[in-house]
Amino acid sequence: MKLKDLKKDFKTKLAITYPNEEILSIFKFLCEKYLNISPTKLLLAGEELINKKQVDMFSKAIVRLLNEEPIQYILKTTSFYGLEFICTPSALIPRPETEELVDWIIKSETNEITILDIGTGTGCISVSLANHNGFVLDALDISSSALELAKQNAKKNKVNINFIEADILEYKSDKKYDLIVSNPPYVRNLEKKKMQNNVLHFEPELALFVEDDDPLVFYRAILKFAHNNLIDKGKIYFEINEYLYNDIKGLLIFFGYVNIELKKDSFGKFRFVKAAKYAKID
């Protein structure tokens, strides 16, 4: 089979489920992974012969895509902040918004600091931060399979991170951090109806959802932990639910935080907050 025919077949089969632009972008990723054809070479391609085994790989991918499985799980990798991360259903797929959170920290924090990433998942936040000079990282998650994945990602990107398997709702430690960052579960069950099948059917619920009547449970637990484990004047950075920014701001004020700054993501939604721990005057 020729590459141009493979492409035609791919487009026809996926047309009921995906817009054309997305099909072409997925095709590009698959060509890179399965055929080793770079996106620039792909523009000129067409007459190359694709063998039976390769055609089979595309057919299997089509079945999974029609089932609305995320392309990142099919490819088993994604890129985040210029690095490559292994992706499995053990953790949330790294999102472009979260890259903006990492970027905010890297651009704002210039000193040598010790950072704790709570709910690390794939490790995308901690690995990208640890890739920067001067940042020393601990990363915590309740899920042992997520931590296994985060460890692989740290190794793949050649960074050192101290991993901690624990539930932040109960975790206690004597260690003091200069900065705590977290992208905890923050989607309320009531928001499920607005979500896409690729998220709902494939990504881990544990990493996404919180109860409608207590959506800030993890933020509260993190701020309680920070009471003893974040230095005075230490910083908190959170990714947040766009509908709950006022509640989160209120919680930070309640816990005595100052210099609270909300920030919108590139879609114009309040998605991040940073704040500093009030320095106690004894």
Per-residue string for binding with ligand GLN, 226-265, x by CB under 6 A?
-------------x--------------------------
Closest approach of ligand GLN to the CB of residue 183, in Å = 5
Three-class secondary structure of residue 239 per DSSP: strand
Residue 134 C-beta: closest distance to ligand GLN, Å? 26
Helix and strand totals (H; E) in the chain: 12, 11
**Per-residue x/- marks for ligand GLN, 41-80, CB under 6 A?**
----------------------------------------
To the nearest whole angstrom, how small is the minimum distance from the Cβ of residue 232 to ligand GLN?
A: 28
Instruction: Give me the least distance between CB of 175 and ligand GLN, in Å please.
Output: 24
Assess contact for 244 and 271: CB atoms under 8 A: no
**Identity of the residue, 148 or 191, whose beta carbon is nearer to ligand GLN in the bound complex:** 191
Distance CA 8, CA 40 (A): 19
The partner residues of 84 in beta bridges, in order of sequence, read: 79
Burial bucket for residue 184 (CB in 10 Å: 0-12, 13-18, 19+):
buried
Q: Which residues within the stretch 168-227 sit at the binding site for ligand GLN (CB under 6 A)?
A: 183-187, 199, 208
> Per-residue contact track with ligand GLN, 94 to 123, x per CB under 6 A?
-x----------------------------
**Helix, coil or strand: residue 260:** strand
> To which H or E segment does residue 28 belong?
helix 20-30
Q: How far is the CB of 18 from ligand GLN (least distance, A)?
A: 18
CB of 172 to ligand GLN, least distance (A): 24
Instruction: Return the structure tokens found at 161.
Output: 């991170």
Q: How far is CA 146 from the centre of its chain?
A: 12
Nearer to ligand GLN, 75 or 199 (CB): 199
Task: For residue 113, give both structure tokens.
Answer: 């600091």
Q: Is the Cβ of residue 184 or residue 234 nearer to ligand GLN in the bound state?
A: 184
**Phi/psi class of residue 76: alpha, beta or left (left: φ > 0; alpha: ψ in -120 to 50)?**
left
Contacts to ligand GLN by CB under 6 A: 95, 183-187, 199, 208, 239
